[in-house]
Amino acid sequence: MRTAAPVSFTLDLAGRTGPRPDQVARALVEAIASGQVHDGDRLPSTRALAATFGLARTAVVGAYEELAAAGFLVARPGGATYVEQGAAAAARAGAFGAAVPGTKPRRLAGASGAGEAGNFGVAEAVPVRSNPDEDGQVRYDLRPGLADAGLISERDWARAMRLAAAPARQAPDLREELAGHLRRFRGLAVDPADIFLFPSVSSALRAVAVTGGLAGQPVAFEDPGYAKARLALAEADAVIRPVPVDDDGIRAEDLRAGDRACYVTPAHQFPLGGRMPVRRRAALLEWAAAAGALVLEDDYDGEFRYDVPPLTPLRSMPAAAGHVVYLGTSSKILSRGLRVSWAVLPARFRAAMTRYLDAAGEEVSQVPAAFLAHFIASGALTRHHSRAMRTYRARQARFVAACREQIPAARALGIEAGLHLTLVFGADFDDVAAVARLAAAGLACLPLSAFCAGSRRTGLICGYSLLPETAAAPAAALIARVTTDLLYRQP
């Protein structure tokens, strides 16, 4: 008979606000950070912990699930839950949001020193035909990263646009509004003075490469990874060094002391969809501090989460402010047509970035900027996000279920978040040919191999934001027919 683990620590729940499971989760993170609970410790059962502290068992179950999703806890055979290795260091570093009260993260050395567009940068290699089927239409548009603009309230849109176009009306300051948006939706507290606006993430990356001194310097880059970001950095004369990723993203041990920066998509790795666990986040920041390097954090679709708690950005960790450049865009939230993206820079780059933008003249158009400021300030963005989340969640669930039923040879990656998933198969196949055949039949998606630099991986990257629930089954059936033919029937 298994012996129950005793409750040998305290949970400080006094004065906490928010959902009860979140309160319990944060109290447990504090217990881990303070040393009451150690890496590798077996935790009490949810029933025992609930009884000890007078909690509803559902609150403890929710807290355990939240911390397991974040990488602090791990369930092992037999049903027991343990503290993951590296959880204490991650907790002290503030990887679960704000710094733990009463603890001091280690000072990181080396403090001195220096996704836009729906096709993700491979449209030239794999064009989507405008009339691929007999009806002259793309019947199933599964290109990743395309927000469904049809979900936007026409009333909210028209009102914000009317206010933005009024010459005599003073628009809210977009940087102030973005700071509030990031705080509410991503748990990220930043100084508006550190937010810089760009027409695209690509232009932001080029500017960061110049002001951060990355020209001629090695930049570690996820492989497979976001092709347009890789191209933007290369255009700024950075030397791209592909680094393979696994299911949890990039590993700090694969980075070098000589790398001057590292590009990552930790909330939802593009294109494989992994969520970087907290211990890797802490290790990545330790590498950046020791190397005096920058971490380029692209949070391209971090607002969208399905059935898992959100992981706050790397930039929200206390040690990150001097090392992390946080990148975001309106294109995945609202529409590509707005062309408003942003970069949150370490404060030491303010003056250099201001000089760069003054000289380059690369500015965001005033009307879209004013529109977005009004849209956020009025609460319209909050309403839209709630509506979009419900719709995308339903579309994702239906498409995943259809893929599992009709394409049993495929494994769907990255289904917990974002606007796309990636189908990978047990065998290598010509995914470029598959995409071409699907396009001819009226389905648009992208090949995984097109995003690989030093590696060779194949699969299909499929967005579901524009896929009605009623179209999920026929779209999956079409993918099944094409991939089955390529995998099993061709010599």
> What is the spatial distance between Cα 109 and Cα 106, in angstroms, rounded to a whole number?
9
DSSP 42: B
Residue 449: its pLDDT value, please?
94
| Long-range contacts formed by 53-59: CB under 8 A, 24+ apart | 53/11, 53/13, 55/20, 55/24, 56/20, 58/21, 59/20, 59/21, 59/23, 59/24
State the pLDDT confidence band at 96, using cuts at 50, 70 and 90.
low
Residue 101: its pLDDT value, please?
36
User: Higher-confidence residue: 17 or 32?
Assistant: 32
Contact 445, 403 (CB under 8 A): no
User: Higher-confidence residue: 10 or 223?
Assistant: 223
Percent of the chain with pLDDT over 70: 88
Residue with tokens 């990978």: 424
Least confident range of 255-259, 262-266, 424-428, 474-478? 424-428
Interval 289-297 mean pLDDT: 97
Interval 268-279 mean pLDDT: 93
In CATH, what class is 152-378? alpha beta
Domain residue ranges in the chain: 20-92, 140-146+382-489, 152-378
pLDDT for 4 beyond 70: no
Mean pLDDT of all residues in the chain?
86
Residue 69: its pLDDT value, please?
67
Query: Nearest CA to 270 among 434, 461, 72, 5?
Result: 461
pLDDT for 105 beyond 50: no
State the pLDDT confidence band at 3, using cuts at 50, 70 and 90.
low
Percent of the chain with pLDDT over 90: 58
State the pLDDT confidence band at 133, using cuts at 50, 70 and 90.
very low
Interval 73-90 mean pLDDT: 79
Summarize pLDDT for 387-420 with one digit per residue, the tens. 999 999 999 999 999 999 999 999 999 998 899 9
Query: In 124-154, which positions are buried (b, 16+ CB within 10 angstroms) versus exposed (e)?
Result: eebebeeebeeeeebebbbbbbbbbeebbee
Summarize pLDDT for 182-196 with one digit per residue, the tens. 998 888 999 999 999
Query: Nearest CA to 340 among 188, 164, 461, 212?
Result: 164
Interval 156-168 mean pLDDT: 84
State the pLDDT confidence band at 451, using cuts at 50, 70 and 90.
very high
Least confident range of 61-70, 206-215, 340-349? 61-70
Give CATH for domain 140-146+382-489. 3.90.1150.10
pLDDT for 130 beyond 80: no
Give CATH for domain 20-92. 1.10.10.10
Interval 1-18 mean pLDDT: 76
Query: Nearest CA to 471 among 46, 140, 40?
Result: 140
Least confident range of 134-143, 157-166, 455-464, 476-485? 134-143
pLDDT for 129 beyond 60: no
State the pLDDT confidence band at 97, using cuts at 50, 70 and 90.
low
> What is the spatial distance between Cα 487 and Cα 427, in angstroms, rounded to a whole number?
7
What are the DSSP calls for 120-153, one per residue? TT-TTTSPPPSS-STTSS-SEE--TT---GGGS-
Residue 95: its pLDDT value, please?
63
Contact 370, 163 (CB under 8 A): yes
State the pLDDT confidence band at 78, using cuts at 50, 70 and 90.
low
Residue 77: its pLDDT value, please?
61
Least confident range of 80-84, 87-91, 233-237, 452-456? 87-91
- C-alpha pair distances (Å), 212 with each of 11, 226, 363, 443: 43, 20, 19, 41
Contact 352, 381 (CB under 8 A): no
Residue 250: its pLDDT value, please?
96
pLDDT for 367 beyond 90: no
pLDDT for 489 beyond 50: yes
